[in-house]
Chains A and B, each alone.
Chain A
Amino acid sequence: MDWGSDSGLKLRMAVALSLVVVLPVAFVYTFVFAMNTVGVALLEWATERPWNGRFYVKPWLAVGGVAVGFLAQLLLGDRVALHAVDARPVDRDSHPELLARVDRLAQTAGTESPPVAVSRSTVPNAFAVGPRPSNATVVVTEGLLDTLDDDELDAVLAHELAHVTNRDVTVMSLSYFLPSLTYGMAVVAFLILKGMFHLVGNAHYADDDANKGLVVALAVIVVSAVITAAISVLFWVASFLLFRTLAQYREYAADRGAAAITGDPLALASALRTVDDEMSELPDRDLRAVDGGLEALYVAPIDDYKFGDGDRELISSDIFPATHPPTDERIERLQELAGESA
Chain B
Amino acid sequence: MTSRRRFLASLGALVTGGALAGCGYRPGGGDFRWREESLRGLYRSDEVDVSGETLYTVADEDQSYDVEEETWRNGGRVIAYDTAGGSERYREQFDKRADVVGAGAGDVAVSLEHSDTGLAGDGDARHAVARLGPDGKQWEISVDDAVEQLAVADDRVYVVTDAGTLLACADGEVRWRRESYDLGVAPPDRRPSVRVGAGPAGVVLADGGEPVRVAPDGTERWRRTDVSLVQQVLEVGSQRVVVADETTLYALAADSGQTRWSSRPTGGRYYRTSGGFYRVLGDAVHALDDTGGTRWTWEGLARETNVAASETDVFVRTGTGLTALSADDGSRRWTVEYDRIDAGPFLVDSGVLVASGQTATCHIP
Interface residues of A (CB under 8 A from B): 49-58, 60-61, 64-65
- Does chain A have a CB within 8 A of B22? yes
Contacting pair A55 B31 (CB below 8 A): no
- Chain A interface, >50% SS class: mixed
Q: A53 — which chain B residues lie within 8 A by C-beta?
A: 25-28, 31, 364
Q: Closest CB of chain B to A66's CB: distance in Å? A: 13
Closest B residue to A58 by CB, please name it.
B22
Q: In the complex, given contacts A50-B31, A54-B25, A61-B19, what are 20 additional A-B residue pairs having Cβ atoms less than 8 angstroms apart?
A: A49-B31, A49-B32, A49-B35, A50-B334, A50-B336, A51-B28, A52-B28, A52-B334, A53-B25, A53-B28, A53-B364, A54-B28, A55-B26, A56-B25, A56-B26, A57-B22, A57-B23, A61-B22, A61-B23, A64-B22
Q: Which of A52, A55, A58, A60 sits near B29, CB closer than 8 Å?
A: A52
Q: Give the docked Cα–Cα distance between A65 and B15 (Å).
A: 10
Residues of B within 8 A of A (CB): 18-19, 22-32, 35, 334, 336, 363-364
Chain B residues with CB below 8 A from A51, complex form: 28, 31
Question: What's the nearest-Cβ distance from chain B to residue A37, in Å?
Answer: 14
A50 engages B32 (CB within 8 Å)? yes
Which residues of chain A come closer than 8 Å to B29, judged between CB atoms? Answer: 52
CB pair A58–B28 under 8 Å, yes or no, is: no
State the Cβ distance, B308 to closest chain A Cβ, in Å.
18
B30 close to A55 (CB less than 8 A): no
B339 to chain A, nearest CB (A): 12
Say whether B334 contacts A55, CB under 8 Å: no
* Nearest B residue to A65, CB-CB: B19
- Do B31 and A52 touch across chains, with their CB atoms under 8 A apart? yes
A258 to B32, CA, bound (A): 66
Residues of A within 8 A of B363 (CB): 50
Name the 9 nearest CB pairs between A and B, nearest first.
A61-B22, A52-B28, A53-B28, A53-B27, A58-B22, A57-B23, A52-B30, A50-B30, A50-B336
The answer to whether B23 touches A56, judged by C-beta atoms less than 8 angstroms apart, is: yes
Residue of B nearest to A43 (CB): B25
13 pairs, A vs B, C-beta closer than 8 Å? A50-B30, A50-B334, A50-B336, A52-B27, A52-B28, A52-B29, A52-B334, A54-B26, A55-B26, A56-B26, A57-B22, A61-B22, A65-B19
Question: Which residues of the partner chain A approach B32 to less than 8 Å between Cβ atoms?
Answer: 49-50
Query: Are the CB atoms of A56 and B30 closer together than 8 Å?
Result: no
Q: B24, B25, B27 — which one has the most chain A CB atoms within 10 A of its CB?
A: B25
Contacts of A64 in B (CB 8 A): 22
Closest to B321 in A: A50
Residues of B within 8 A of A57 (CB): 22-23
Q: Check if A55 sits within 8 Å of B19, measured CB to CB.
A: no
Chain B contacts for A52, CB-based, 8 A: 27-31, 334
Which residues of B have CB within 8 Å of A49? 31-32, 35
Q: Name the A residues within 8 Å of B31 (CB-CB).
A: 49-53
Would you give the shortest CB distance from B150 to chain A, in whole angstroms? 36
